Structure 1
Amino acid sequence: MYSQVVPTLVECVPNFSEGRDKSKVDAIVEAMKLPGVYLLDREMDADHNRCVITLIGEREAIQEAAIRGVGKAAELIDLTQHQGAHPRMGAADVIPFIPIEGVTVEDCVAMSKHVGAQIASRFNIPVYLYEAAATSPERQNLENIRRGQFEGIRDDIAANPARKPDFGEPRVHPTAGATVVGARKSLIAYNIFLNTADVNIAKKIAKAVRFSSGGLRFVKGAGFLVRGQAQVSMNLTDFEQTPIHRVFEFVKREAARYGAVPTSSEIVGLIPKLALEQAAEWFLQVENFDSSLILENRLAAVMSGKMTPGGPGAGLSAGVAPFIEQLAAPTATPGGGSAAAAAAAMAAGLAHMVAAMSRGKKAYLQYEAHLSQAIGQLAQLREELKQAIDADAESYNVVMKAYKAAREASDGDPIINAALQTATTVPLGVAERAAAIAHMVERLKPVTNPNMASDLITSAALAQAALTGALANVDINIGSMKPGTAEEQDFIDRTLELSAALKAQAR
């Protein structure tokens, strides 16, 4: 049911500075066990002296689980006695929240701020926000925040204004240090072992591969000596734009310069299935590869009703028919806002298809970087717009509840205005994304197969329709607000300004 409220599902991957004492890790995991939170994975590494816990759960429950994990780590881990290959600044070193279903990165930013405030108030541990939650550009990268590690931050935090935490006092916890909390997309922690014990080779390769020193975009890297082997340790922060197979080949080529070769690689934590599908497609050179060619994917799609047994192109109406019927039903939701989001999602899907079918072809190799970037951006836009289909319907339901609640309140305008702000923000986000898709389609036209021009024309038309429809919903909702505070008036003014700019672009 497209009008059904989507459950909130968030991934949390806390990293704790303990990889040798299993009993301590067991206690930390036990502290994070709450209804609605599930343990997906736990990794311990003695050389790094670090463990990575992967949790998934409902939005509210997983926040409390993360907070309790930090508290237990503060009880058990003493950084003044801690040694390991991996940089660290806290007993609970870093806690990222990753949107999975029914939530956005922006939602995870709000979660990060709540969790950070709670950690500081409950445990007297200073907290820094990073990645999408960062309060300044310098703090987007974890490396910048963690520079100097626990000892350096301990000596510098009170005297250096740049070290002032986002939450808590400017002094580290005596034994638990400081913690970093943030929101980001799915990250792949990927390590490659070399057939040498010379850690300097790993460090040189890491310098070559990481983006900060001129390497691959969306790659962070460092060199360590682990289990007697040189290891290139990396974080891939956007595997759709810099896929894992490209990283492996880069490291392999760099290693050859020093007479070394990769002997094995490892994933720390979990890896998205799409990343392995991309690697399989690349190494096997499968023509016109599609994830629906994988047996388990096809089976899951058929069983969920998203695809008929004939596969892609066979009975496609079965997937979209329920939504169309709901649009036609004599109910308020789903309505024009949901339809606009669906149109924009289809626009992103078509443009993604054209870019994906052109990338890797001989005639378009010179545009591979451009196409890869577009594919990654369009995939993200498509997922966000799919969520907006339900979010728009739900925001309407919230407005109706607000009007009902307002009738029983002495001053109901603030209640209604708050609901209308949400109902305005959803279609405004759809409009912004539709405009971005339309712009990307124009840039794709000269660098993709001209035989697919009709697909891009259709994509542009859908994006235009989505933009027009979403802005119509913005106008309706913003026009219903009765501002009573400066903040509400400011919201209206900013929304009208952005809406006017998008309308000009639509024309």
Structure 2
Amino acid sequence: MATLKRTKIAMSSSRLGLRLAACLLNISEARRKHIVENIAKAALGKNGQKHPEVSVLNIFSDQDYNRSVITIAGSINELGNCVLAACVEAFQSVDMGVQEGIHPCLGAVDLVPIYPLCGVGVEECGAVARRLAENLVLRVPGSSVFLFGEADLPRKRSLVQRRKQLGWFTRRDFSALEPDLGATPDRRCGLTGIGASPYVMNCNVTIDSQDLALGKEIASAIRGSNVNGLKGVQVMAFPHEGKIEIACNVESFEDQDVTETSEDSQYITYGVLGDHFSYISPHYIEAQVKKLASDRGIGTIGRALIGFTPQECKNCAEYAIQESIGEFWKIRGGVFM
């Protein structure tokens, strides 16, 4: 593994002239490490042709879920083609006909969200996502796509809406699904979601219990759709490594009253092209789960941020691209963010 002198990343995207976006590529494979890494490396180029303005920042694989999240960041002009190459590699290696895992999924490549990091807006990310979807169904026979967010024109339906419509949480009958692009989903490829939105964080908190009903109760209490829930937090509870994990997707929201913006406060904020996005902080989510668990007589084991906060992702992307580090995931432990 490569090493890197521990350093504070502090770049100015305007000074560097970078227009960056990120894709948190969700694939339905985690138990074969070499397969996951081959998919990540495909985004960086093959046959000696490398993409200097693209980097794989992180790979997170979960054995129980049998799901990996690969964070690919780069120039908005390069990112779509690089993510397409990773998707093609994934479809060659992952067969939904035999895939098993706790986490809900519909496709071998399950989710392809494009997020703006700096110098680009979410609308431009939506255009990249739509072109990616169109190219994917041409390149991979049997693949099919549903669109969400800024790629789903003109309705711009959210990922949550689309997943509910498609029965993402329970469906296994691929032949009954109706894609936006491509043919009726086949058993091997399944159905892939492609879209764009402001950055979405993934934050999981494990409670020291095997009681799934109790985990669902805690998840319901913090869900953003509930009156007293946490804004922008989509949440599910899963059995995980002999315990229960509270798995959260943390979406941005608009709130003029947000003033606290640190990791240790209730909120963090992020700005790109003059737009400002607020999020419930991972620290605060963990604190709320811990309190709810304690009220029920149990403790928590820890928190996992699957990748980065949006600011961390931007900082790492700028650094990796400036230093031409394509396989950044191998050295990120030596870098302060």
Same fold (TM > 0.5): yes
Report what 1:224 is aligned to.
238
Which one of the candidate residues 8, 12, 18 is aligned to 1:7?
18
Q: Indicate whether 1:249 and 2:267 are aligned.
A: no
Q: What aligned pairs does 1:69-468 form with structure 2 within 5 A after superposition?
A: 69-124=86-141, 125-135=143-153, 136=155, 138-141=157-160, 143-148=163-168, 151-152=171-172, 154-157=174-177, 164-169=178-183, 171-214=184-227, 215-238=229-252, 240-273=278-311
Report what 1:16 is aligned to.
27
Contact 1:90 1:150 in 2 (8 A): no
Structure-2 separation of matches of 1:150 and 1:114: 29
Instruction: Give the RMSD, CA atoms, in angstroms.
Output: 2.7
Matched AA of 2:121 = T
Structure-1 separation of matches of 2:75 and 2:197: 17
Report what 2:258 is aligned to.
none
Bigger mean CA deviation after superposition, 4-13 or 53-62: 4-13
SS of equivalent residue, structure 1 residue 128:
strand
Structure-2 separation of matches of 1:2 and 1:123: 35
More helix as a share of residues = 1
Structure-2 separation of matches of 1:145 and 1:95: 18
Report what 1:66 is aligned to.
83
Q: Indicate whether 1:50 and 2:67 are aligned.
A: yes
Matched AA of 1:12 = C
Structure 1 residues 176 and 211 mapped into 2: Cα distance closer, same or farther (>3 Å)? Answer: same
SS of equivalent residue, structure 1 residue 263:
strand
Bigger mean CA deviation after superposition, 14-23 or 205-214: 205-214
Bigger mean CA deviation after superposition, 121-130 or 206-215: 206-215
Contact 1:207 1:221 in 2 (8 A): yes
Structure 1 residues 189 and 129 mapped into 2: Cα distance closer, same or farther (>3 Å)? Answer: same
Structure-1 separation of matches of 2:84 and 2:243: 36
Q: What aligned pairs does 1:469-480 form with structure 2 within 5 A after superposition?
A: none
Contact 2:112 2:193 in 1 (8 A): yes
CA shift at 1:78, angstroms?
0.8
Structure 1 residues 234 and 30 mapped into 2: Cα distance closer, same or farther (>3 Å)? Answer: same
SS of equivalent residue, structure 1 residue 80:
coil
Bigger mean CA deviation after superposition, 240-249 or 199-208: 240-249
SS of equivalent residue, structure 1 residue 39:
strand
Structure 2 unpaired stretches of 5+: 1-11, 46-50, 253-267, 269-277, 320-337
CA shift at 1:43, angstroms?
0.8
CA shift at 1:67, angstroms?
0.9
Structure 1 residues 216 and 2 mapped into 2: Cα distance closer, same or farther (>3 Å)? Answer: closer
CA shift at 1:3, angstroms?
10
Structure 1 residues 186 and 3 mapped into 2: Cα distance closer, same or farther (>3 Å)? Answer: closer
Structure 1 residues 62 and 263 mapped into 2: Cα distance closer, same or farther (>3 Å)? Answer: same
Contact 2:111 2:192 in 1 (8 A): yes
Matched AA of 1:87 = P
CA shift at 1:139, angstroms?
4.6
Bigger mean CA deviation after superposition, 200-209 or 265-274: 265-274
Structure-2 separation of matches of 1:57 and 1:98: 11
Matched AA of 1:143 = R
Structure-1 separation of matches of 2:103 and 2:308: 19
Contact 2:235 2:247 in 1 (8 A): yes
Matched AA of 1:181 = I
Matched AA of 1:9 = L
Contact 1:127 1:168 in 2 (8 A): yes
Matched AA of 2:44 = K
More strand as a share of residues = 2
CA shift at 1:210, angstroms?
1.2
Give a deviation string over 1:210-255, Cα, whole Å, max 9, x none. Answer: 1234422200100011111111111111252423333223212221
Structure 1 unpaired stretches of 5+: 158-163, 276-295, 301-507
SS of equivalent residue, structure 1 residue 79:
coil
Structure 1 residues 139 and 265 mapped into 2: Cα distance closer, same or farther (>3 Å)? Answer: closer
Matched AA of 1:229 = K
Structure-1 separation of matches of 2:60 and 2:219: 22
Structure-2 separation of matches of 1:181 and 1:267: 22
Matched AA of 1:188 = M
Contact 1:150 1:178 in 2 (8 A): no
Contact 1:89 1:146 in 2 (8 A): no
Structure-1 separation of matches of 2:235 and 2:169: 17
Structure-2 separation of matches of 1:263 and 1:148: 28
Give a deviation string over 1:326-385, Cα, whole Å, max 9, x none. Answer: xxxxxxxxxxxxxxxxxxxxxxxxxxxxxxxxxxxxxxxxxxxxxxxxxxxxxxxxxxxx
Matched AA of 1:126 = S
Structure 1 residues 14 and 259 mapped into 2: Cα distance closer, same or farther (>3 Å)? Answer: same
Report what 1:282 is aligned to.
none
